[in-house]
Structure 1
Amino acid sequence: NPRDYKSYKLLFGNEKFYDRSSNITLNYEYFYSCIDNMNISIDQLMSSIQKLQFMVVNLNSPDDDPQLIFESLNSTGVALTDADKIRNFLLMNENLPEQNKYFQNYWQPLEENTHFEVSKFFRYFLTIKNAQFPKISNVYDEFKTTYNNLDFDKQNLFEDINDFSNTYKMILECNTGTKKIDVILNRFLELNVTVIRPFIMAIINDFVSNKIVEEEAIKIVELVEKYIARRIITKTPSNALNKVIATLYRDFRQFQDKHNNQYKDSEVIIFLLLKKQGSGRVPTDEELIRNFKHNDWYNINSSYRSYIFERLENHNHIESLSIYEGLKNKDYSIEHIMPQKLSSDWKNELGNNYQRIHENYVNSLGNLTITGYNSKYSNRSFQDKQNMEKGFKESHFVNLNKLPARSDKWGEAEIIERTNQLITSALEIWDFPESTIHEMIEEKEMYIYDGNETFSNYKIHGFTFINDEYIPVKTWKGLFVELFKLLAKIDLNPLIECTKIDTKIGFESAIFSEKTDDTE
């Protein structure tokens, strides 16, 4: 590796020029420290070094495959990353000048562009190409299969990888050159939502190569944010999200090709997302309102909580406040207006029903805000919080603290009023447009089973399980039979144990009962 060799050569010079980011340097300093702390002589050290052995593998036969031998030799000990395997797969059979060309012009920039997240990059890259997420344990094998099915040469593959790695860098660094996209990419990073990356990579790649105009690229990224945000707010199960995201770009391109690009790109994405069913669906306004009113908004994923309140405050601000940075630096905090622990003053202010009000509303949306005052004052009276330094009356969180700044007191009525105000803002922030495309769905929609659907009054035509292989069946009983065949191949013993259970419900009743109602 030329980069490692450069770091290695620096170890023979002045210590202040060492490459501290290199594993070569870290290993050198580790062994140096170990040896320095050993009570051994130079002769003993040299004697030990002379016992080290090197193994050389000669490839004498024309049939010897260096890649297979490489994989075999590295199958024990510390496992190689998928990136290591893919690099060697692509470079090993090339002569030295070609290896150097590919490494210097493509592989080294790939490592730098992806911030050395090369294995992750290839998982997303393969998702774009194959419209399905490869298993984390199967990325290398999937890459080999994809490579062998290519209809273009290795040079073109490296060019394609290079384009997408540049896109990946833009996503990691939030630097597409378009501010409206970059701020959303930053929010995705703060949310740590990585499942959407393949689709975002594909869209940004089309944008920078002028296949999608800037206005449409902005709208598409905004739609993805609203889709993800609505699912977070409504706690929609995420098990269908991988498949939705993996197939979305393929479906988008196929739809545009079929209709000769007569629709705007963003309109197609709206159409495709709105026709998703089950746990892949776009949550409705009614679901948003219900969850905003009744959810605990304090004891949730802190990244989600920061995102919700950052959007509620910064939406429509000309100059956005650096809320993420402020929360990380603890200059700001998510604060309970009515405190988590009631003082006697708060109990008196809330009245005889203080216990019910506290239990029902303490962690509600309407009682939570962002403040800049010291959190040690969180138990102060409402009037103190209003008038103290950085309190509600002089708060620069205008959207969030509008009502707390002007209210005379803080109780049930004020919390409900503020909740409704914030819900009105939320429905504007995360609004999801109706589709302007009215096309009959020609192929039957696949529904994702998330443990909740009953599928009453549905007929079944087929299913997929574990992988995307479609298995046609005519009846629900047929589904059970085929499903148990697949499970038996994985591990037969649990199924055998289940058959010993004496019950008239469960899978044995579905399989062995004389009458089967296949309308459900």
Structure 2
Amino acid sequence: MDAQKATLLQLVDGNKQFRIPIYQRTYSWRQEQCSRLLDDVLAIAKAPPGPSHFIGSVVYVADGNFMAASVNSLLVIDGQQRLTTLSLMLLALRKRASDGVDVGASPKKIGNLYLFNGNEEEESDDYIKLQLTRSDKDTYRKLCLDHPLGDGDNNRVQKNYLFFLSAFESGRADPAEAFVGIQRLQLVYIALELGKDNPQLIFESMNSTGLDLAQADLIRNFVLMGLPHGLQERIYNKHWFPMESRFGQQYKERFDGFMRTYLTVLTGSIPREDEVYAAFKKYVNSLSPSVKGEPLLMERVAADLDRKSAHYAAIAFGKEQDAELHQSFHDIATLRADVAHPFLLELYGDWKIGLLKREDLLSLTKLVESYVFRRFLCGMPTNSMNKTFAGISKRIDKTRYFRSAQAEFLKLATYRKFPSGAETAQMLEGKDVYNTPRCAYMLERLENHFHPKEPVKAAGYTIEHVMPQRLSDEWRACLGENADEVHSRLLHTLGNLTLTGYNSELSYRPFQEKLEMREGGFLSSPLALNRRIREQKEWGKEQIQARGTELAAVVLKVWPEPDPSTLAEFAEPKQAEAELYDLDHYPPFAGAIRGLYLKLEERLLALHPAARRECKKLYVAFKFDTNFVDVIPLQSKLVLVYNMAFDQADDPKGWCRDITNISSWGNGDVEMSLSDERQIDYAVGLAEQSLALQMQE
């Protein structure tokens, strides 16, 4: 590595070409940054002679044959935004000089000093000192050669060039002063030698905050940066650019979501959004030595990303060509069930290689939708589903894929369970469906169940309360003496809701009028959801509940549960009966310490509905997914071991002991002794911390 100070002229002097690698992000500086740089250039021009103005660093890779070619090609690792912006400023100065304005140098001098390799022909790729990437390259070349710009040149390169030109033409900036300022600019250039220096490590250290580059940029650079130019070009053009294209304008945001899903499938662990790059590096570095030693490892990695990103786009971006699969993925997207993407990505990939039949893939996507929606209807927490979908495929027997997958859904227990039909129907009886974000989705799916080949979209209709939200005297008379109670309890339930295109016309009218209205009345409505309503002569408690029961049965068909017979088919093999323990098993609980324990137990089990107790041989375990605290009974105290790292515990009183790498009967690195009821609040607070960490994983 060679690091030296230099002026801009000293950096670019000689037959050199600074080439921006294809994997680098395109030029992205905005007018605000260009304006700030121009102000700095003007300020240094007006300052008394003295130290030059430092504008940062430029890092490039020299290929070891620096003097062999007529034009030495230097691959820019860091600093492309500054180099490009200064070049655009110089192009604007050159244009003003061509127009006869005194800039302090002729157009030819500016070009030969900073912009062109004068010994090369204009048509040569080596003529222009700065070679940008992708669409930026063509626009910049046109500006350099004074060629007319087209519609495809409407990018940051053109806009910032025009900004500088306008500043010089309008008098906002004096071109001669700007040229003086540019000559005083100073930077540090760092020349790396291919094969000796690691450009990726240097690049990471210069971007260690993660603020300048998105996770997508960092991953792309990691894959491509250290490769020979020809291999970079091949991988980028064959795999990376197609992937960027299928993600569209939201590439960076979508890519991060894809990478989280991709890594979850590969590793079984869900990386945090701001740690996707670190998790990807860890995955690549964890590949076996034989794989890591392959010269084309990164090409294999890029090819797999390309292939899986196409699967992901089909699932998440509506790009699936199969109409039924497309609709099923759309329904899952409507539920905002992104947590299911790892499971769906694995299913889709297995379908593509023939492990899973197309019909079974479709049925399993519908089962995913059912699982998510039934849990929503039953008011079950959503924070466990990411771990459920991250791990469920690992337990599937792929030789009997479809039935095994159904069995795994049925094996989910406690807070992760697949709600049964009876449980779902019961929850629907009095559930406020209207004030949920899924009401229109639910009514649309129910309607289309009756005529799937002629689907309607809920967006074209309004949700209608048959019994209106405000009761008139006619409605009170219809509902009877318990009108307010019936109205309060059943207004927003499924039995009282439907779709209509005439919500304002129906309004608060009496039921008979809503039936018989010539335009928009229920009798003339073509919607299947209104069939039972059309058959009624009055509308009250009995009618609402009867229709609710009828629609609840349809809900169970639209969102089915797995085949219950699969559970017996894939039951776990019976293990030897383990010795059973209870509280009487522990000798200390024959004494006074048992009372303290029972008060603690009550508080620990109250932390979460899914918290449970298991009596082990030497301690009592309190579990969620796994142990979050273990209680070891002694004669005069309880020893609590919390399942978390010592530095994760918030222990302001200093009552905890670090037992990292110390043998213990419990699970975890944090220990606390409990001998007094007044310590229970503090002990339970620590248990809550341990439980919260487990739930976040």
Task: Name 1:126's counterpart in structure 2.
Answer: 263
Task: Name 1:359's counterpart in structure 2.
Answer: 488
Task: Name 2:571's counterpart in structure 1.
Answer: 439
Task: Name 2:524's counterpart in structure 1.
Answer: 394
Cα distance, 1:385 vs structure 2: 2.5
Task: Name 1:278's counterpart in structure 2.
Answer: 414
Q: Say if 1:279 and 1:450, in contact at 8 Å, map to a contact too.
A: no
Q: Say if 2:377 and 2:428, in contact at 8 Å, map to a contact too.
A: yes
State the TM-score, normalizing by the size of structure 1: 0.82
Given the superposition, is the C-alpha separation of residues 373 and 472 from structure 1 closer, same or farther in structure 2, using an over 3 Å criterion? closer
* Helix, strand or coil at the partner of 2:542: helix
Q: Paired residue for 2:681, among 498, 506, 517?
A: 506
Q: Say if 1:114 and 1:168, in contact at 8 Å, map to a contact too.
A: no
Q: Please show how residues 148-187 of structure 1 align to structure 2 within 5 Å.
A: 148-151=285-288, 152=291, 153-187=297-331
Cα distance, 1:62 vs structure 2: 6.1
Task: Name 1:196's counterpart in structure 2.
Answer: 340
Aligned residues between the structures: 486
Q: Say if 2:628 and 2:643, in contact at 8 Å, map to a contact too.
A: no
Given the superposition, is the C-alpha separation of residues 505 and 450 from structure 1 closer, same or farther in structure 2, using an over 3 Å criterion? closer
CA distance in 2, matches of 1:313, 1:29: 57
Unaligned stretches of 5+ in structure 2?
A: 1-20, 27-132, 292-296, 577-604, 657-671, 687-697
Cα distance, 1:510 vs structure 2: 11
* Helix, strand or coil at the partner of 1:122: helix
CA distance in 2, matches of 1:91, 1:357: 67
Q: State the one-letter code of the partner of 2:513.
A: D
Task: Name 1:408's counterpart in structure 2.
Answer: 537
* Helix, strand or coil at the partner of 1:505: helix
1:323 equivalent in alignment to 2:457: yes
Identity of aligned residues (%): 27
Q: State the one-letter code of the partner of 2:471.
A: L
* Helix, strand or coil at the partner of 1:195: helix
CA distance in 1, matches of 2:446, 2:242: 39
The structure number with the bigger radius of gyration is 2
Unaligned stretches of 5+ in structure 1?
A: 512-520
* Helix, strand or coil at the partner of 2:499: strand
1:89 equivalent in alignment to 2:235: no
Q: State the one-letter code of the partner of 2:270.
A: F
1:372 equivalent in alignment to 2:501: yes
Task: Name 1:218's counterpart in structure 2.
Answer: 362
Task: Name 1:518's counterpart in structure 2.
Answer: none
Q: Paired residue for 1:235, among 356, 370, 379?
A: 379
Q: Paired residue for 1:425, among 551, 554, 558?
A: 554
More strand by share: 2
Q: Say if 1:237 and 1:450, in contact at 8 Å, map to a contact too.
A: no
CA distance in 2, matches of 1:37, 1:276: 71
CA distance in 2, matches of 1:26, 1:98: 30
Given the superposition, is the C-alpha separation of residues 34 and 283 from structure 1 closer, same or farther in structure 2, using an over 3 Å criterion? farther
CA distance in 1, matches of 2:424, 2:332: 20
* Helix, strand or coil at the partner of 2:338: coil
Given the superposition, is the C-alpha separation of residues 277 and 19 from structure 1 closer, same or farther in structure 2, using an over 3 Å criterion? farther
CA distance in 1, matches of 2:524, 2:165: 56
Task: Name 1:40's counterpart in structure 2.
Answer: 172
Given the superposition, is the C-alpha separation of residues 25 and 294 from structure 1 closer, same or farther in structure 2, using an over 3 Å criterion? farther
Given the superposition, is the C-alpha separation of residues 485 and 284 from structure 1 closer, same or farther in structure 2, using an over 3 Å criterion? closer
Q: CA RMSD in A?
A: 3.8
1:452 equivalent in alignment to 2:609: yes
> Which shifted more, 279-288 or 314-323?
314-323
CA distance in 2, matches of 1:368, 1:30: 58
Task: Name 1:268's counterpart in structure 2.
Answer: 404
Given the superposition, is the C-alpha separation of residues 226 and 508 from structure 1 closer, same or farther in structure 2, using an over 3 Å criterion? closer
Q: Paired residue for 2:231, among 95, 98, 115?
A: 98
Q: Say if 2:335 and 2:373, in contact at 8 Å, map to a contact too.
A: no
Q: Paired residue for 2:642, among 465, 483, 506?
A: 483
* Helix, strand or coil at the partner of 2:498: strand
Cα distance, 1:312 vs structure 2: 1.3
Q: Say if 1:477 and 1:510, in contact at 8 Å, map to a contact too.
A: no
**1:246-299 CA-partner distances (Å, limit 9, x unpaired):** 1122222xx33xxxx2x3x11011111111112111112222012101211111
1:75 equivalent in alignment to 2:208: yes
CA distance in 2, matches of 1:449, 1:84: 46
Q: State the one-letter code of the partner of 2:482.
A: N
CA distance in 1, matches of 2:162, 2:339: 37
Given the superposition, is the C-alpha separation of residues 439 and 484 from structure 1 closer, same or farther in structure 2, using an over 3 Å criterion? closer
> Which shifted more, 386-395 or 400-409?
386-395
CA distance in 1, matches of 2:161, 2:499: 46
> Which shifted more, 66-75 or 452-461?
452-461
Q: State the one-letter code of the partner of 1:395.
A: S
CA distance in 1, matches of 2:324, 2:643: 50
Q: Say if 1:297 and 1:365, in contact at 8 Å, map to a contact too.
A: yes
Q: Say if 2:475 and 2:510, in contact at 8 Å, map to a contact too.
A: yes
* Helix, strand or coil at the partner of 2:642: helix
CA distance in 2, matches of 1:52, 1:361: 75
Cα distance, 1:33 vs structure 2: 12
